[in-house]
Amino acid sequence: MLGTLEPEQIDRILHTETVGRIGVHAEGRTYVVPITYVYDGDNVYGHSALGLKIRMMRAAPDVCFEVDQIDDLASWRSAIAWGRYEELSGDLATAAMNLLRSRLAPLTSSETVGPAGHPAGQAGLAGVAFRIRLAERSGRFEKR
C-alpha cells in the first residue's frame, strides 16, 4: 500500500533521522549530496567544509532536502522538503554546532559525519555552519 504522510509523520522522520540528502541546482548542474543534520522543527542544521555543495548553495540558496527510512523495499517512509539555505555566524553558528554535537556525538566516528571530528567543529573557523529553513514539505510511504 502506498500513501501520503501527514505533517506530524513527516516531522517525526525529520526529527528521528540524522542523514539526509541536499539537492541543489546551480549554473546548469544539479547536485545531490548526503549530509548529517539536526532538525529543530523549522530548520535543518548542518556543517560542511568549503566545497562544491557550499559553493552551489551560495549561488542558488533555494534547495531541496530528502530523508528516508527504509525497513525493506516494500516498507519505507520518505520526506521531501524545500527550503532556503542560510549560512550562520556568531552565536547562531555556535548554537548550531552545539546542537549538531549533542545529537551526533554518540553516532560519530569519522571526519565528515559529525562535527566533533570536523575542522568546522573544532575551531569554528575552517568550515561552514548552515541551516535550511524548511517551507513546503511532502511525505510518502509504502507498507504491506
Ligand X SMILES: Cc1cc2nc3c(=O)[nH]c(=O)nc-3n(C[C@H](O)[C@H](O)[C@H](O)COP(=O)(O)OP(=O)(O)OC[C@H]3O[C@@H](n4cnc5c(N)ncnc54)[C@H](O)[C@@H]3O)c2cc1C
Mark the segment that binds ligand X (CB under 6 A) among 42-50, 63-71, 85-93, 134-142.
Answer: 42-50
Bin 28: left if φ > 0, else alpha if -120 < ψ < 50, else beta.
left
Torsion on CA atoms 104, 60, 27, 111, rounded to nearest 10: -10
Judging by DSSP bridges, how do beta strands 29-36 and 62-72 pair with one another? unpaired
Stretch that binds ligand X, among 34-42, 59-67, 77-85, 86-94 (CB under 6 A): 34-42
Using CB under 6 A, count the residues that bind ligand X: 14
Q: Which of residues 82-121 bind ligand X (CB under 6 A)?
A: 112-113
Phi and psi for 96 in degrees, rounded to 5? -65, -45
46 binds ligand X (CB under 6 A): yes
Minimum distance of ligand X from residue 12's CB (angstroms): 20
Task: Give the span between the Cα atoms of 140 and 124, in whole angstroms.
Answer: 37
Closest distance between ligand X and the C-beta of residue 3, in Å? 27
Residues engaged in binding ligand X (CB under 6 A): 19, 33-36, 46-49, 51-53, 112-113
